[in-house]
Amino acid sequence: MAFDPKILSFFCHWCCYAAADSAGVARYQYPPNNRVIRVMCTGRIDPRFIIEAFYAGADGVLVGG
Amino acid sequence: MEAGRSPNIEIITLAELKELSGKPGNFKAKLHIRPRYVDPLKCTSCGMCTTYCPKEVVDEYNERLTFTKAARIDYAQAVPTVYYLDEKECLRLQHESCQLCANVCGPNAIVFDQQPEERELEVGAVVLALGFGRVPEEVLEKYGYGKYPDVLTSLELERLTCASGPTEGEVIRPSDFAHPQRIAFLQCIGSRDVTCDNGYCSSVCCMYAMKEASVVKEHLPEAQIDLFFMDIRTQGKGFDEAFNRAVEKYGFRTIYARVPRVDQVGRRLALTYVTEDGKTHRDFYDMVVLSVGLDAPADAEVLSQRLGVELNHYGFAKTRVAAPLETNVPGIFVAGAFQGPKDIPESVVQAQGVAAECSELLAEVRGKDAIHKEFPPEDEELERLEPRIGVFVCHCGVNIAGVVDVKEVARYAASLPGVVYTEDVLYSCSQDTLNELVKKIRENRLNRVVIAACSPRTHEPLFQETLREAGLNPALIEMANIRDQCAWVHAEDPEAATEKAKDQVRMAVAKAARLAPLELQRVSVTPSALVIGGGAAGLQAALSVANQGFEVYLVEREAELGGNLRRVTGLLSGEKPQKILEDLIKQVESHPKIRVYKGTTVENVSGYVGNFTSTLRREEGSEVINHGVVILATGGREHRPERFGLGENERVLTQLDLEAELERRGGKLSRARSIVMIQCVGSRGDDLKYCSKLCCQQAVKNALRIKKRYPKKDVYVLFRDMRTYSFSEDAYREARKAGVIFLRYQPESKPELITKGKRLAVKVYDALLGEELLLPADLLVLSVGIAPGENEEISKVIKAPLTGDGFFLEAHAKLMPVELPVEGVYVCGLAHAPKPLDETLAQARAAAAKAAIPLAKGFVEVAPIVSRVDQARCIGCGICAELCPYGAIEMVKVGKRKKAQTITASCKGCGICASHCPVLAISMGGFTDEAILAQIEAFGAFVEREAEGKSKEEKAA
Amino acid sequence: MAEVTRRILELVGLNLERFRIDWASAAEAPLFVKIVTDFTETIKKLGPLGEAEGLDPETLKLRLAAARELASQSRFRAAYGNLARELKKAGDYSPEGIRARVEQKLVPIIKKGLLEAEIKHLLSKGPVSIDALLEKTGANQEDIVPILEALSKKGQIEKQGDVWQPKAKE
């Protein structure tokens, strides 16, 4: 079986989260491997969150500002 | 939807305005309301009547492509969400022979004997938003429509590509239900066509054709699509870029040719056309799409006679450049396509602008009859209970359910900890579902709600309000975005999309369990506006805000008001631009509520919506002002590239330079025998990537002015696409008639300047002759486009983003065209994007309307996403206060120790403070550490499930 | 934030390509799609967490557990917060500047904190010899001994012959 990575993303409400919505409106297609946590700003991201994500088993963590 | 929910908007459907009497501020309107035969208060829009109705009728809403019933609703999101009986088709109403619908209607909402109603309304102002009409079928028949089944209109194709349309989004050709492989789009059907009395350009078809072609390509990647244009008119903000991107991505062929007719040859359609090089071509297609234009609304004439409103010669409302939203009758305004063909952003701008017109007219009585929405008190006891989570999974019609297995997601949600209720709903945002939601919350004593639907960015406020109606704190909701970021973007992999949806729901449920009620904070508003920029946009915006009853500080950097408009000397409409400007300035300068600051710059804008503080600096010294909102009308500037000898040779001018020459007696113009104009100099890909929208109109206008004054002079206009959209197409035609010679050049072979001694000439390739022409240019006039003003600095200060082209980026291109992402800051005029004067004036009013909302309310509600310091934990290190980019944390003395404290109204909820607190003493409203960590933990279950799946597979192997 | 996180992940032993921070504005949907697609591809190539790094699941879990603890420790957090404050004051956001400061101010604390947390974890499961500790953490004797001594001074652990074990609660 091909490896299907599990990715956790933190997206900024104003930027990347909005871009992700626009991508939807425009019906762009991308791989379904990421799961999203919305934050109001990437400034909210604490190193703890990233480590917790890996601890929880994420193969990759993407922070989108 | 939002309008339907407002207690201050009554939507009266099936109604016609019969008579209007009185004067502005005090009209009496007589309405005739046709019966719906369904009681809207009783109807639950369950759809039983449609299911059982025996009478099949052609579905007009779906462009006659399918059937519906006599008892129906046209589409699920219709407002009001209430069914109706089609009077002409209903067996009962016509023949007294059936009453199945009444028998099956649970709430007994069917009323066969409902009578028409006459109603009289007292209103202060009237807005005509009649929309647009259809191009007559005779026009379409010229292209084989009606005769050849595979000739479709763009409206029909729109329904075919719609996921909830008659084919559920499958693009098939009507003759044999096969997927078309070659498709042609014919532009300007019923537009730019004097033979059908529609001489104007419909403005929107080039863009929508591109959009439809793109959607078709998404459905049928193999299809080959050709688009036939007269000109490619994609002049709106960001349109050129979008168009070019689509052409590149989907490999569209764009052909400059007007196809005269369509023939059927065997099972295919033949197009015979002549390209600009004079060559004749014949191509075969499986489907031909007619990009139909926007006609004047059908009933405009009757209504205009009733109201005494003047129409233009095409049957649209007649307006002036100086007052694009006003009819000739005071108190009757106009907005949208009835004022002239236009797209959604332009229509929204006009709609908002017209709201300002009404608000100005009715400023004195504002709020007199307003109804304020009341919410029941919060059930705090319920909120304190262990989480009782309700999960609602939305189909969004087929938007979500077409990809994600919604039922499976709902079943899965029911198994999650804390979840006591789950349901899948067709449209979670429809009014009846929202009412149902309130009921479900109460019945099941839910104290946390998860909505798995679209984006919280657009819909969270709606659901928050619903929670309030149910007596819950609005913070107790969490949305899982399974549409925009799931179903729509993983359409090709329904299984993975369903898994993702489940994961996002699980994460949302985990977060919901840790949500706490948050207090909605109200901040009072300083009732004044700062308008930056004293050009046409700033003047109009200032005037409108002041006329609505609020103080305005109008700041102009230069010594004089007027901006770019000062240099314009004529308008196509015949109105005098300097007179328009003079009127505006006079009104502004004499207005008791406006303070004008010339030769002044704005510095240090700080604060937040409702409470800004700015420094106005001028030579004599500076002044600090407080204001509630900011309108950016900072304008743009003429782009003056060093091309074609501009700036070196005095016979090379820009169109604005020419405007001055046109006012002069004698001078360069009178000596010149041959005048050459070149369009798009430095625009659309060179220095400026975009189209400046107004240059083509301006060139045509100036060419006509030259021809009127000096009929014998030769005038050439070299262009890429003539973008004389809407009614300015008339002027383009007039100019050609007057002998102005228009020559298209290709971007890969741009005109060149040739200097022979003192003489100037322009070399350009003429496609029809197939050779290069040398045009003498005693005067060379360049259309140079509009560059953004110095927006960068103010963008940084206000924290409002710019587009890649350097203009302010609106909060939403279509629905929020004058609002910026920063609350309390609005934009209009050239600061937003290049546009002609009438559009600038309408947009200035739109900005004024939006800006007046917080001013009129007197308060703003701060979203409770702000930070909160647990002072018992705080060690007073001060890291947060120093890191906060908004200065929203102060250090205060509590007892003997220093503690951090949030200034709520300044806080934007970014969370830098919380993520850097050594002792984790800061929590963010709605985004607490606990909530985010719970989401991460819930994400982990995804990993575990995968691992389990794998081991199972291994075992099986 | 990014640099500090990277250093921690590096010390845990993870491939740093697993963590990416990128920007796309609201207007840049195509860019967003590119970022997500590229990142997914990168991770696909890397393979599952730990496996690609040659870390066995037990060690990986241990190291990440230690990192978790470190990230909540007030000693680390105060240093992290102060560093952010220092950077803001200096106005120096060049990657080199940040790296240098993180190396100087934070890395020692991260190293020590991680090791300490790992030791605690190992000891919490029962007595462990110093050799086993050295093997499992992959650290030097010079690094481990002071930590063990400090912990024993605090009365959290005690030495019994060759092995260290958690001190029995009295």
Q: Report pLDDT digits (tens) over C53-98.
A: 888 888 888 889 999 989 988 889 999 999 998 888 887 778 888 8
CB B48 within 8 A of CB B104: yes
Residue of chain C with shortest Cα separation from A35: C36
Please give the structure tokens belonging to residue B851: 């800006």
A chain contacts of residue C69, beta-carbon cutoff 8 Å: none
Report which DSSP code applies to B343: -
pLDDT at B632 over 90: yes
pLDDT at A11: 95
Q: Is B503 on the interface with A (CB under 8 A)?
A: yes
Distance CA B401, CA B452 (A): 12
Cross-strand partners of B166: none
The mean-pLDDT minimum among B43-47, B521-525, B815-819 falls in B43-47
Residue B313 is predicted with a pLDDT of 96
Between CA B485 and CA B104 the distance in angstroms is 40
Q: What are the structure tokens assigned to B6, written together? A: 């407002």
Contacts of C21 in chain B (CB under 8 A): none
Q: What is the side-by-side strand order in the sheet with B448-453?
A: B419-425, B389-394, B448-453, B477-481
- Contact state of C48 with A20 under an 8 Å Cβ cutoff: no
What is the interface size between B and C, counted as CB pairs within 8 Å? 42
Residue in chain B nearest A22 by alpha carbon = B484
Give the Cα separation of C28 and A15 in Å (integer).
9
Task: Tell me which residues of chain C, numbers 57 to 86, contact chain A at a CB-CB cutoff of 8 Å.
Answer: 61, 64-65, 67-68, 71-72, 80
Helix and strand totals (H; E) in chain B: 26, 45
Q: Which residues in chain C touch residue B801, judged by CB atoms under 8 angstroms apart?
A: 25-27
Confidence of residue B946 (pLDDT cuts 50, 70, 90): low
Q: What pLDDT, on the 0 to 100 scale, is given for residue C170?
A: 47
Residues 10-29 (A) with a CB less than 8 A from some CB of B: 13-14, 17-18, 20-21, 23-25, 27-29
- Nearest residue on chain C to A52, alpha-carbon basis: C68
Mean local confidence (pLDDT), B551-560: 97
Of A19, A45, A52, the CB nearest to C24: A19
8 Å CB contact of B882 and C89: yes
What is the rounded CA–CA span in Å between residue B363 and residue B856? 10
Beta strand segments in B378-462, E? 389-394, 419-425, 448-453
What pLDDT sits at residue B167? 86
- Strands of chain C (E only): list them: 19-22, 128-129, 157-160, 163-166
**Closest chain C C-alpha to A14 CA, distance in angstroms:** 7
Nearest residue in chain A measured CA to CA from B217: A27
Q: What is the DSSP string of B197-262?
A: TB-S--SSHHHHHHHHHHHHHHH-TT-EEEEEESS----STTHHHHHHHHHHHHT-EEEE-----E
Residue B885 has pLDDT above 70, yes or no: yes
Q: C85 and B879: CB-CB below 8 Å?
A: yes
pLDDT band for position B890 (50/70/90)? confident
Q: What was the pLDDT predicted at C45?
A: 93
Chain C residues bordering chain B (beta-carbon distance below 8 Å): 1, 25-27, 30, 33, 72, 74, 77-78, 80-82, 84-85, 88-89
ipTM of the complex: 0.97
Contact call for C81 and B879, based on CB within 8 A: yes
Chain B residues within an 8 Å CB radius of C84: 879, 883, 916
B948 or B771: which carries more pLDDT confidence?
B771
- The β-bridge relationship of strands B674-678 and B714-719 is parallel
Binned at pLDDT 50, 70 and 90, residue C108 comes out as confident
pLDDT at res. C141: 77
What are A's interface residues with C at a Cβ cutoff of 8 A? 3, 5, 7, 9, 14-16, 18-20, 22-23, 25-26, 28-31, 33-34, 42, 45-48, 50-52, 54-55, 57-65
Contacts of A5 in chain C (CB under 8 A): 40, 43-44, 46, 48
**Which residues from chain C sit within 8 angstroms of residue A14, using beta carbons?**
26
Output B228 or B768, whichever has higher pLDDT. Answer: B228
Cα separation, C20 vs C5, in Å, equals 10
Per-chain mean pLDDT for chain C: 85
Using a CB-CB cut-off of 8 Å, the residues of chain B touching C27 are: 801, 803-804, 809
Mean pLDDT for all residues in chain B: 93
H helix count then E strand count, chain A: 2, 3
Task: Single out the residue of A20, B482, B727 nearest to residue C35, CA to CA.
Answer: A20
Is the pLDDT score of C101 beyond 90? Answer: no
Higher-pLDDT residue of B346 and B166 is B346
Residue C94 corresponds to which amino acid?
S
User: What b/e string do you get for B738-761 counting C-beta neighbours within 10 Å, with b at 16 or more?
Assistant: eebebbbbeeeebbebeeeeeebb
- Cα distance between residue C116 and residue C152, in whole Å: 12
Q: Which of B220-224, B453-457, B605-609 has the lowest mean pLDDT?
A: B605-609
Q: Which chains touch C (3 or more CB pairs under 8 A)?
A: A, B
Is there a contact between B497 and A17 if contact means CB atoms under 8 Å apart? no
* List of chain C residues whose C-beta atoms are within 8 Å of the C-beta of residue B489: 33
Model confidence band, residue B745 (pLDDT cutoffs 50, 70, 90): very high
- Please choose, from the candidates B812, B845, B804, the residue with its C-alpha nearest in 3D space to the C-alpha of residue B828: B845
> Which among C14, C29, C39 is the nearest to A62, CB-wise?
C39
Contacts of B503 in chain A (CB under 8 A): 35
Q: Do the Cβ atoms of B883 and C80 come within 8 Å? A: no
What are the helix and strand counts (H, E) for chain C?
A: 8, 4
Lowest mean per-residue pLDDT among B674-683, B829-838, C143-152:
C143-152
The pLDDT score that the predictor gives to residue C132 is 80
Confidence of residue C135 (pLDDT cuts 50, 70, 90): confident
Contact A43 B915 (CB under 8 A): yes
| C25 closest CB neighbour out of B801, B879, B918 | B801
Query: Contact B844/B536 with Cβ under 8 angstroms?
Result: yes
Neighbours of A (≥3 Cβ pairs closer than 8 A)?
A: B, C
Query: Is C20 in Cβ contact with A58 (below 8 Å)?
Result: no
Q: What is the pLDDT of residue C169?
A: 52
Check B490 against A6: CB less than 8 A apart: no
The verdict on C98 touching A (C-beta cutoff 8 Å) is no
